[in-house]
Amino acid sequence: MTEKIKFQFPGADDASAIEDDLALAIFTAQCVHGRPQTRLQVRYLVTDDGQRAAMEVGGPAGEMALRVFLGLCGARFGEEGFHVTRAPSLIEEANGE
């Protein structure tokens, strides 16, 4: 099952830095799990202003990329410098959770 994660970066002004961190996180997952598996288990989007991003992850490669990205965000913005929320899955939405 995939999980959707939303990020907010209130102090960000450079989308390319966020994209670079995501690319590094995905590369890290590829080194361990292989490129094909990682490509199937990770999708992402970053807004043009760099204030928001979203990831859709599933499986071990996706989880690894998410954890590495969270670590990079903590290093770049500090633990209190960004916000993370989990978006409801389609099943949860259908059940009203």
Question: Tens digit of pLDDT for each residue in 44-60?
Answer: 999 999 999 999 999 99
Please give the residue range of the domain that contains residue 10: 3-94
> Residue 7 is part of a domain; what is its CATH number?
3.30.70
- 11 compared with 53, residue with greater pLDDT: 53
Q: In the prediction, which pLDDT does 13 show?
A: 84
DSSP alpha helix (H) spans, 1-97: 15-33, 35-41, 59-77, 90-94
Q: In the prediction, which pLDDT does 16 show?
A: 93
The band of 93, judged by pLDDT with boundaries at 50, 70 and 90, is low
pTM (2 decimals)? Answer: 0.88
Q: In the prediction, which pLDDT does 91 show?
A: 59
Task: Please list, in sequence order, all residues whose beta carbon lies within 8 angstroms of the beta carbon of residue 67, skipping any fewer than 6 positions away.
Answer: none
Q: In the prediction, which pLDDT does 81 show?
A: 93
Count Cβ atoms below 10 Å from residue 21 Cβ, excluding itself: 21
Is pLDDT at 96 greater than 70 in this prediction?
no
